């Protein structure tokens, strides 16, 4: 689904008030990238029209949540010699070390959406706490860069522009969702945030309060729906209803339904487990796994996750919108709702966020639109 939320920040209020929403079936996209621009434009226009109707506001600009198969987190290291003669480390030195991390990254056809420092070492010793003011000779850094295919990004921004909406900034979906559904304590002790979308599943690991990794798999909850439809020879709409329902339906075998759902969930969990093993974090995340996204509502997901991944598992929840409609407690909405909290102060994003990238892409987007649209 294409979802839009209109929020309003009142003076003195920490959290936004939701004044309008809109949603529309997503068409013209596959695994997060544009395959049919005209259909994608229509999906956005329909969601915008619904949001404008409920909010009474004309939507001209928006923050955009970014997900898809090419959303990745890549770690790179770099370093610099401390510039001051007395060896005192300054913010300039830290920025130089992080710039060297970026220079050492092999980007190819990817663009950096966010950059997050992970650690610093001064003369070979890890720095804990504040860096500025320490004295040394050589400063080394390690950073996580969240990247995305530049072609897919241009196409996505192109259809959004064609729908009449200017993109203010893009925020990687794990960043938006984590601001809403994860506590600081969870991020510190170690937690995995898993977003099960329609056609993709993303895994993001947080530790010591920092985003440590991002990976996206080309499998989502649509495969579960398709399997149910084939297994029972029923329409997709009915299969989707069965996937999300906890109620018994005498017309269909509950055992067979559970077997179909479990088989496909096992494929998703296997991808997650393999990635956690590569990170040496398998069964080693005290705060466990938090599920968000539309696929998080799949019947039996949490219980199966606990038994297969051997970690505490739960659905994402939030108290930020506790006084609003029930639908906003649905983890399917956390991606777009997270934009309200994470975009309140875009200056909080480190250099390498989309703000600086937008200028570089504007001309490219205009030219690519001519190729995409008839």
Q: Which residues of 308-319 are buried (b: 16+ CB within 10 A; e: fewer)?
A: bbebebebbebe
Q: What span, in angstroms and rounded, lies between the C-alpha atoms of 29 and 37?
A: 8
CA distances from 260 to 66, 239, 312 (A): 30, 11, 23
Helix axes 221-232, 254-278, angle to 10 degrees: 150
Q: What span, in angstroms and rounded, lies between the C-alpha atoms of 374 and 361?
A: 21
Q: Which residue has the higher pLDDT, 328 or 278?
A: 278
Per-residue pLDDT at 8: 81
Per-residue pLDDT reduced to its tens digit, 337-348: 888 877 554 433
Per-residue pLDDT reduced to its tens digit, 111-170: 999 999 999 999 999 998 888 889 999 999 999 999 999 999 999 999 999 999 999 889
36 SS3 class: coil
Residue 28 burial class via C-beta count within 10 angstroms: exposed 0-12, middle 13-18, buried 19 and up? middle
For residue 233, the 8-state DSSP code is: T
| Predicted confidence (pLDDT) at residue 77 exceeds the cutoff of 90 | yes
Q: How far out from the chain centre does Cα 339 lie?
A: 10
Per-residue pLDDT at 318: 75
* Mean pLDDT of all residues in 223-251: 86
Domains, the chain, in order of start with CATH, read 72-149+356-372 (3.30.1490.110), 173-338 (3.30.420.40)
Per-residue pLDDT at 346: 41
| Predicted confidence (pLDDT) at residue 359 exceeds the cutoff of 70 | no
Please report which confidence band the pLDDT of residue 367 belongs to, taking 50, 70 and 90 as the band edges: very low
Per-residue pLDDT at 356: 41
What pTM does this model have?
Answer: 0.84
Per-residue pLDDT at 248: 64
| Predicted confidence (pLDDT) at residue 358 exceeds the cutoff of 60 | no
């Amino acid at each position: 689904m294409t979802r839009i939320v209109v929020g309003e920040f009142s003076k003195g209020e920490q959290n936004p008030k939701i004044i309008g929403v809109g949603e529309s079936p997503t068409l013209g996209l596959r695994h997060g990238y544009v395959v049919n621009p005209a259909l994608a434009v229509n999906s956005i226009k329909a969601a915008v029209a619904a949001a404008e109707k409920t909010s009474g506001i004309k939507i001209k600009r928006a923050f955009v949540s970014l997900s898809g198969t090419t959303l990745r987190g890549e770690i790179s290291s770099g370093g610099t010699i401390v510039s001051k003669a007395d060896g005192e480390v300054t913010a300039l030195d830290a920025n130089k070390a992080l710039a060297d991390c970026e220079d050492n990254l092999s980007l190819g056809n990817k663009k950096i959406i966010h950059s997050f420092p992970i650690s610093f070492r001064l003369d070979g010793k890890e720095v804990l706490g504040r860096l500025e003011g320490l004295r040394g000779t050589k400063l080394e850094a390690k950073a996580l860069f969240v990247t995305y295919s530049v072609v897919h990004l241009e196409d996505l921004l192109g259809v959004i522009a064609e729908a009449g909406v200017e993109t203010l900034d893009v925020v990687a979906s794990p960043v938006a969702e984590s601001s809403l559904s994860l506590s600081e304590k969870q991020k510190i002790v170690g937690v995995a945030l898993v977003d099960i979308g329609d056609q993709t599943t993303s895994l993001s690991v947080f530790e010591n309060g920092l985003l440590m990794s991002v990976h996206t798999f080309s499998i989502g909850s649509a495969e579960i729906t398709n399997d149910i439809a084939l297994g029972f020879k029923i329409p997709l709409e009915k299969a989707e209803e069965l996937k999300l329902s906890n109620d018994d339906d005498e017309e269909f075998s509950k055992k067979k339904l559970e077997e179909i759902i479990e088989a496909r969930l096992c494929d998703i969990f296997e991808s997650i487990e393999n990635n956690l093993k590569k990170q040496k974090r398998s069964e080693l995340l005290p705060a466990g796994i938090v599920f968000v996204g539309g696929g998080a509502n799949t019947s039996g997901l949490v219980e199966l996750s606990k038994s297969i991944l051997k970690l505490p598992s739960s659905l994402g929840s939030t108290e930020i919108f506790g006084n609003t409609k029930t639908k906003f407690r649905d983890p399917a909405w956390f991606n777009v709702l997270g934009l309200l909290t994470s975009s309140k102060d875009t200056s909080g994003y480190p250099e390498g966020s989309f703000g600086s990238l937008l200028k570089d892409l504007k001309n490219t987007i205009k030219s690519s639109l001519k190729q995409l649209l008839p």
